[in-house]
Amino acid sequence: MSLLAIGSVAFDDVETPFGRRERALGGSATYFSLSASRFHPVRIVAVVGEDFGPDQMRVFEGRPIDLTGLSRVPGRSFHWQGAYGYDLNEARTLATHLNVFADFRPDLPAGYRTSPYLFLGNIDPVLQLEVVRQMAERPKWIALDTMNYWIRGARPALEKVLREVDILLVNDAEVRELTQEHSLLKAYRRIQAMGPGVLVVKRGEYGVALFTPEGHFAAPAYPLEDVFDPTGAGDTFAGGFLGYLAWIDRKDVTALKHATLVGSVMASFTVEQFSTERLEQITQDEVRNRLALFSDMIRVEDL
Amino acid sequence: MSLLAIGSVAFDDVETPFGRRERALGGSATYFSLSASRFHPVRIVAVVGEDFGPDQMRVFEGRPIDLTGLSRVPGRSFHWQGAYGYDLNEARTLATHLNVFADFRPDLPAGYRTSPYLFLGNIDPVLQLEVVRQMAERPKWIALDTMNYWIRGARPALEKVLREVDILLVNDAEVRELTQEHSLLKAYRRIQAMGPGVLVVKRGEYGVALFTPEGHFAAPAYPLEDVFDPTGAGDTFAGGFLGYLAWIDRKDVTALKHATLVGSVMASFTVEQFSTERLEQITQDEVRNRLALFSDMIRVEDL
């Protein structure tokens, strides 16, 4: 019983108004697995280069994260360089060096092909589809993240893979570009027609909107004194959200609402420090306490 | 027992991607009073010109809105011209003709000076302070709205009036400019030091964040199929929020959370049509139904 995740494992150079880090651990599969593995065992499919060494591997150790599918190949790892302005809502990408990621073709280890839960991180939809086709049996659910680059540049492949998907996780601009609808209610109906029954719209500091066949929901972001570095917040959210769903093995509206709170709380830790620094350190008690405070904060007595 | 509101009564020319209206009824006191008077009697202090006739007056009739303080003077009424792009989040102001509003000096009718609740709409803080000084006794609470124009151009007067204020209603950019803090939690503590114990941050399509001495809260916007014209949403929210607080005569955190939902639901009607068209027509049943749906949507069972 594992949650299979495909995505990037990378080095990030990040600059925010509060400081900078060079060659810090990053990548969607990194944040996702560190977050999801708090709730359910995770299997990663990704690729790194020869520059990815024991210091980086150590971060995954002692956690229920299966790295059988993490290939190490000649060359350098994926490297992203970005900067944030004072409002922290949008990263300015300074450089993207795909390196070993450029020739990445996922090849699932035999033991991965029967995973009951599948997360297709934000990569080329052609590769996302290849992963789906390599599964020996249909997972209980498939979740997918994507971005404007693929919506614009690879729409036919994206539409093909979306037909296989149950849960779509994107941001406001992405869902609007994908559906050509400004109203999220209307956008959700278009998404349903494309395949996914559940839509999760990530809105950064404004929280998350959730659309399900049983109704919709929205939660604010967990309020913080200081946001240091928003890199990885979306992937950490996805990890908490999907790790929780895998753990409870349900996806009714109550489970999805709870998953939204769990994902938001996990993301709140990530942004408090650079890279995975905070996410690596948190204890189960810290997660539990923040969840209790957050539930209490958004609770409203009947009017 | 009335809620006294000072603000503008105006004509608006509005253009959105969905149509346009010329010389439609607008102004902060207009939206505020139509919304608040659903919950509690309202008294308006404002000024209009000779172009403000029976067609406009009719909108206020048959509602618990006292117009004794609405002066009609020679000249033309305040006239705002604005346009919205497709994302509807921010108005582009094309022209502002203050007209009779330029020489407006509030002079409270004798009967107004003992109002138990006071809303100082977004006007020159010098005038807001004059209203406070004209009150015969201190209201139970004073609420205030302002904008960047006054934060930049009239900070000393604004700081003076804020010392008298219990509830501040502003948007994200305004609270950040006023406090020079990006984190809303930190901004709230600065606001508390300035005077207001309650901070309400209006975030348009992302809803509302509420900060109180007993804890904070955030609610999404009520989700709509179509937003036609966002003009007046903030003032309608303030009307619902403060009208409800006046009605129940409480301002503990539960009351403030409920007021947030009420304000959001009232605003959701305003934006569905141009000007006050929808706000004028809604029934108590429509308000009640939307409140029930909204409460249900944001309710989360204990984790």
Residue B179 lies in a domain: yes
Contact B185 A223 (CB under 8 A): yes
Domain count within chain B: 1
Q: For B98-144, write each residue's pLDDT tens digit.
A: 999 999 999 999 999 999 999 999 999 999 999 999 999 999 999 99
- The answer to whether residue B28 sits within a structural domain is yes
pLDDT of B136 reads 97
* Strand B3-6 to B117-120 pairing: parallel
Condensed to tens digits (0 to 9), the pLDDT of residues A234-265 reads 999 999 999 999 999 999 999 999 999 999 99
Residue B303 within a domain: no
Q: What percent of chain B has pLDDT over 90?
A: 94
pLDDT at residue B87 is higher than 80: no
pLDDT value for A303 = 84
Q: Write out pLDDT tens, residues A156-191.
A: 999 999 999 999 999 999 999 999 999 999 999 999
Chain B interface includes A226 (CB < 8 A): yes
What letters, b where the CB count within 10 A reaches 16 and e where it falls short, cover B232-244?
bbbbbbbbbbbbb
Task: Say how far apart CA B144 and CA B215 lie, in whole Å.
Answer: 20
**What is the Cα A116 distance to its own chain's centre?**
18
Query: Measured between CA atoms, how close is B221 to chain A, in angstroms?
Result: 9
- What CA–CA distance (Å, rounded) separates A28 from A119? 11
Question: Which is more confident, A42 or B227?
Answer: A42
Chain B nearest-CA distance from A137, in A, is 32
Give the residue from B119, B124, B118 showing the smallest Cα distance to B103: B124
Cβ–Cβ under 8 Å, residues A293 and A264 = no
User: In chain A, what are the helix, strand and coil shares in percent, each to the nearest 5?
Assistant: 40, 25, 35
Closest Cβ opposite residue A300 in set B203, B206, B261: B261
Q: Which residues contact B250 (CB under 8 A, 6 or more apart)?
A: none
Range of the domain at B119: 3-298
CA distance A224 to chain B (A): 7
Q: Is residue A167 part of a domain?
A: yes
- Say how far apart CA B262 and CA B240 lie, in whole Å: 6
The answer to ipTM > 0.90 is yes
Q: What is the mean pLDDT of chain A?
A: 96
Of the candidates A3, A21, A52, A1, the residue with the CA atom closest to the CA atom of residue A12: A21
Task: Sheet containing A10-16: give its strands across.
Answer: A19-26, A10-16, A78-84, A91-97
Query: Could you tell me if residue A157 is inside a domain?
Result: yes
CATH code of residue B109: 3.40.1190.20
Shortest distance between the Cα of B270 and any Cα of chain A, in A, equals 16
Look up tokens 């009520």; give the residue.
B222
Task: Select from A11, A170, A163 the least CA-distant residue to A80.
Answer: A11
Nearest to B197 by CA among B131, B251, B126, B120: B251
Of A141, A114, A166, A120, give the one whose Cα is nearest residue A6.
A120
A303, part of any domain = no
User: Six-digit token pair at B175?
Assistant: 């609270």
Q: What is the rounded CA–CA span in Å between residue A8 and residue A41? A: 18
Q: Would the CB atoms of A183 and B227 count as touching at under 8 Å?
A: yes
Task: Name the DSSP letter for residue A59.
Answer: G
Do B207 and A184 count as a contact with CB atoms less than 8 A apart? no
- Name every chain A residue with its beta carbon within 8 A of the beta carbon of B257: 300-301
Residues A33 and A30: their CA atoms lie apart, in Å, by 5
| β pairing state of B78-84 and B208-212 | unpaired
**Amino acid at position B131, single letter:** V
Decide: A265 and A294 in contact? Cβ < 8 Å: yes
CA distances from B39 to A35, B142, B165 (A): 46, 17, 22
Say if A119 falls within a structural domain: yes
Task: Fill in the amino acid letter for B244.
Answer: Y
Please indicate if any CB of chain A lies within 8 Å of the CB of B299.
Answer: yes
A238 CB neighbour count, 10 Å cutoff? 30
Does some domain include residue B21? yes
